[in-house]
Amino acid sequence: MSEATIPVVTIDGPAGSGKGTIAIQLAKQLGYHYLGSGTLYRILALYKLQRLREVDNLQALLDECEPLRIVFKPMQEEGVVQVLVDDEDVSDALRTEECAKEASQLAVRPQVREALLKKQLGFRMTPGLVAEGRDMGTVVFPDAGHKIYLTASAEERARRRQKQLRKQGISATLDRLLAEIRARDSLDKERPVSPLRPAADAVRVDSTDLSIVQVVEHIAALVQR
Ligand code: DC
């Protein structure tokens, strides 16, 4: 099967829309590979934070990260993957706010997006791929057979984030989380390179009033139709 004929399902959408969990579960259900593209930006960010003194320019950082072997390993818990970089589990380190912030700054650099493009295309392997992020359907896999744009109201996304933080023993007010989500939405939508927007041929799915299982079933039905 040539690379271009390997099926791809793209799921793009804002932070908190549930696309990570949903893409992982959908990939499992379809027996496809999974790509969480935000994780690639976070891995670069982690390297930058860890090696700040050794890597003095962006190209050196990109060159250092180019050969890294990145694996998304499905875990027992539904909708969860472990992220292995050259066999080292970096899942926890990638989740920090510091890493998220650095990743969002790197994500606006065209040089970074160009370097990660090749890496992302490499995840297109038989029997298929579910790729989630911000520009999967618009830039990285424009020829994908199925494109989903997953949304949820900002209020609902803030509530989900609060629940997630509570599980980690962190308390945060809804007002603060809502403000953070709105700020991140505008950053993602207004940046000049690969802004977050639905592909012209994407199907919009609003997850505000739906459970994860309902969204996965809905998308699986669209893909298998
Ligand atoms: O989804 P996430 O929070 O793990 O993404 C981390 C950062 O990377 C976030 O600022 C958005 C950015 N990103 C991007 O620009 N393009 C993608 N395809 C995926 C993520």
The per-residue pLDDT for range 128-178, each reduced to its tens digit, is 999 999 999 999 999 999 999 999 999 999 999 899 889 888 899 999 999
37 Cβ closer than 6 Å to some ligand 1 atom: yes
Q: Give the pLDDT band (50/70/90) at residue 1.
A: low
On the question of pLDDT at 40 being above 70, the answer is yes
Tell me, in angstroms, the distance from the centre of ligand 1 to residue 103's CA: 7
Instruction: List, in order, residues 6 or more apart from 185 with CB less than 8 Å away.
Output: 14, 15, 154, 196
Neighbours of 127 (CB within 10 A): 11
Within 10 angstroms of residue 110's Cβ, the number of other Cβ atoms is 10
pLDDT at 150: 97
**Does ligand 1 have an atom closer than 6 angstroms to the CB of 38?**
yes
* pTM, full prediction: 0.93
What span, in angstroms and rounded, lies between the C-alpha atoms of 199 and 11?
10
Cα of 53 vs centre of ligand 1, distance in Å, is 25
Distance CA 207, CA 219 (A): 11
Atom of ligand 1 minimally distant from the CA of 135: 18
Q: Is the CB of 141 under 6 A from ligand 1?
A: no
Q: Is residue 103 lining ligand 1, measured as CB closer than 6 Å?
A: yes
d(CA 147, CA 171): 35
Going by alpha carbons, the residue nearest to atom 1 of ligand 1 is 38
Ligand 1 centroid distance, CA of 171 (Å): 24
Confidence of residue 2 (pLDDT cuts 50, 70, 90): low
